[in-house]
Structure 1
C-alpha cells in the first residue's frame, strides 16, 4: 500500500533505499533517541531493510518530489508492539533524518498513519512511545492528538547499552473521529 499526504509519499521500503537509509541512520542524533544504534554501513542498512523494514505497515517516508527515503513510519500490530496493547490496537513508530527536523513532516506522516489505521485497518486505539529526553517526539505526538497515558518503569535497552524511561501516549478511534 502507498499513502499520500500534501508533501509526502509513504511507501514500502525497497533494498535500493539502503544508501539513503544509511545517510540518515548513521547520524548519532537519530537512532539512540529511538532506541537503536547508528548504522555503521550501507550493507548494514540494507540488511535492516530486508529483515526489519520490509513488512506490512512499515513505510519509507519520502518527499513527493524525489521519492527518496528520509525517514520511517509504521504500525506494529498488537502482538508486535514494544509494550502491551489491545488485540485490535497498533503502536506507531517513526523517525526522520536531521535535515528534515522542524518542518512538520513527521506530524504530517503521523496524521496520515492515524487516518489509515482507523479508517482502513479499523483499529480501536493507536499508541506511541517516546523516551523522556525526546521532547521532539512528544510534541509531534501531541500535535496529532495523542494524549499521555502512562510512564513505564525504566528499562535497559540492550541495543544502545542504556537505561531509559519511556512515556506512552494513546489516541482512541472516538478521539480521532471527534477531532475531524
Structure 2
C-alpha cells in the first residue's frame, strides 16, 4: 500500500532502490545520529532493503518530482516496536538524506503515517524516539504533535559498542480531533 502527500509517495522499498539508498545512507551525518552505521556499498544497501527495510509498514520516502527514494519512514506496530506497550500502539521511525534536510519532507511523511495509523488502523497511541543530540529529529516530533514522555540512558544501538540516551515522545490518537498538517 502506498501513501501520498503533496510532494511525496511513501511506498515499500524495492531492491532496485539500492543505489539511491546507498547515495543517502552512506553519509556519516545520517545513520549514526539515528543509531545505525553508514552503508558501505550498494550491495550493503541492497541487503538492508531485503532484511530490514522490507519489514511491514516500512516505506521509502519518494519525491514525486523525481521518483527517487531519498529517505525512509516506518510504522512498527505492537511487538514489532521496542517502545509500544500493546497491539493498539505503534512506533514511528524516519530519516532522510542530507540534501533534503530542512525542507519539511519528514514532517510531511510522518503526518501521512499519523493519519494512516489513526484513520485506517485505528491505533490508540504512537511513540517516537530520538537519540541525544539529534535536534532535527526532536524538532520533527514537536512539529508533528508528539509530546515528551521519558528518557532512557545507556541504550544500545546498531553501532557496536555505542550506548546512547534516547528521548521518547508519544501521541494519543484516541478521541483526538487534531488535524495533522503536511507542512
TM tier relative to shorter chain? over 0.9
Which runs of no fewer than 5 residues in structure 2 stay unpaired?
A: none
Query: Separation in 1 of the partners of 2:155 and 2:49?
Result: 26
The SS at the match of 1:76 is strand
Which runs of no fewer than 5 residues in structure 1 stay unpaired?
A: none
Deviation at 1:160, TM superposition (A): 4.2
Q: Which moved more, 1:141-150 or 1:74-83?
A: 74-83
Query: Given the two structures, how large is their TM-score scaled by the length of structure 1?
Result: 0.95
What RMSD in Å do the two structures reach over aligned CA positions? 1.2
Q: How many residues align?
A: 179
Q: Which has the higher helix share?
A: 1
Contact preservation (8 Å) 1:36, 1:160:
no
Deviation at 1:59, TM superposition (A): 0.4
Query: Separation in 2 of the partners of 1:149 and 1:120?
Result: 25
Query: Separation in 1 of the partners of 2:111 and 2:103?
Result: 14
- 2:98: which partner in 1? 98
- 1:79: which partner in 2? 79
Could you list the structure 1 runs, at least 4 aligned residues long, displaced by more than 4 angstroms after superposition. Answer: none
Contact preservation (8 Å) 2:61, 2:73:
yes
Query: Given the two structures, how large is their TM-score scaled by the length of structure 2?
Result: 0.94
Q: Deviations over 1:111-166 (max 9, x none)?
A: 11000011111111010000121011010011011000111132233524311000
- 1:166: which partner in 2? 166
